[in-house]
């Protein structure tokens, strides 16, 4: 595992979360949902990197996250729910033409923050990040 690669991934996590927060202040709810999902997705990529696991698709990354981190109890099952909810909303927001509500965006942003913070804590506790 490359520590440089992990730092680059984590920079992306933080940038996406910052963009989601800023989009919320501008009432760009579809952007909030999109960036919130990618905050979670890249958090998962950081976890998979420390396990030396690569995937080629989003669904592949989701499945490996559930297999390695949820089924083993390293993360509570609620994190699988945050992932599923975020992915479903992102799909809807990116490919559907109905409006995304402020409440949906707020929930996605809250899920992304919880996910990011838990992964950061895990990475620090296991000496992968300072």
pLDDT in tens, 52-100: 999 999 999 999 999 999 999 999 999 999 999 999 988 776 666 678 8
Work out the end-to-end distance of the chain between its first and last CA atoms, rounded to an integer number of angstroms: 16
For residues 42, 117, 83, 25, the Cα torsion angle rounded to the nearest 10 degrees is: -90
> For residues 112 and 123, what is the distance between their CA atoms, to the nearest angstrom?
16
Global confidence as pTM: 0.94
> For residues 89 and 93, what is the distance between their CA atoms, to the nearest angstrom?
6
> For residues 34 and 105, what is the distance between their CA atoms, to the nearest angstrom?
9
How confident is the model over 6-44, as pLDDT tens digits?
999 999 999 999 999 999 999 999 999 999 999 999 999
């Amino acid at each position: 595992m490359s520590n440089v690669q992990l730092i680059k991934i984590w920079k992306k996590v933080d940038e996406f979360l910052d963009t989601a927060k800023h989009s919320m202040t501008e009432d760009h709810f579809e952007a909030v949902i999109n960036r919130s999902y990618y905050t979670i997705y890249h958090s998962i990529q950081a976890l998979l990197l420390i396990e030396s696991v690569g995937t080629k698709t989003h669904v592949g990354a989701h499945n490996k996250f559930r297999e390695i981190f949820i089924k083993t109890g390293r993360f509570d099952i609620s994190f699988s729910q945050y992932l599923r909810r975020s992915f479903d909303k992102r799909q809807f927001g990116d490919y559907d033409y109905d409006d995304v509500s402020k409440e949906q965006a707020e929930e996605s942003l809250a899920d992304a923050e919880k996910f990011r913070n838990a992964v950061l804590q895990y990475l620090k506790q296991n000496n992968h990040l300072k």
